[in-house]
Amino acid sequence: MDASPVTQLLHDLRSGQRDAFDALLPHVLDALRAIAHRQLKNERSDHTLNTTALVHEAYLKLVGRREMDWESRAHFFAVAARAMRRVLISYARQRNAEKRGGGAIRVTLVTHLGPLTEGQEDELVALDEGLQRLEQINPRHARIVECRFFAGLTIEETAECLGVSPITVTRDWRMARAWLRHELSSSDD
């Protein structure tokens, strides 16, 4: 995908041209589908959302962000991945509420997330809650997890998106994963 039209359209959005979102979609659709596919790959096989539905729900959330200051192409995809995560978390919470009458049960997040089985939706909810706690302590670490894990951005793309060096991203990525691993394992006790 050519980043030039995307960058220009994001600049147009910053300057208040709301119709730029409609023009942006054809340029970013394949990348958004790839992010959605990567996130859905870790969901249970009978998930009610497919890749296209997840992209559309996340895109609607992005369009609704009137004051968003799109800094770069990488920033756009990081925010899109976050929107997709929020959609999936919302669906997982809704499903848990329907199955258990409300309140998710916390379980240990496995080190390697494969496709979620019926009971592992709780792990996705626990991960989201852990990320929310991490964001309160260290927002940059939470953004790095979103960029790397959910959006699939490289170290360099994440560094560009956050305006830090790749070395900082590498160090913070390691620390954030360790913190989340500890936090999620201690929440089971």
Top pLDDT among 180 and 93 is at 180
In degrees and rounded to multiples of 5, residue 90 shows phi and psi of -60, -45
- Confidence band for 109, pLDDT divided at 50, 70 and 90: very low
Q: Picking from 30-34, 40-44, 153-157, 168-172, which range would have the lowest pLDDT averaged per residue?
A: 40-44
| Residue 78, pLDDT above cutoff 90 | no
Q: What is the pLDDT of residue 171?
A: 93
List the helix and strand counts (H, then E) for the chain.
Answer: 8, 0
| Residue 112, pLDDT above cutoff 50 | no
Average pLDDT taken over every residue of the chain: 77
Q: What is the pLDDT of residue 85?
A: 84
The answer, as to whether pTM is greater than 0.75, is no
Mean of pLDDT values over 138-165: 87
In degrees and rounded to multiples of 5, residue 144 shows phi and psi of -65, -45
Domain, as residue range, for 139:
3-186
Count the domains in the chain. 1
Burial class (CB in 10 A: 0-12, 13-18, 19+), 77: buried
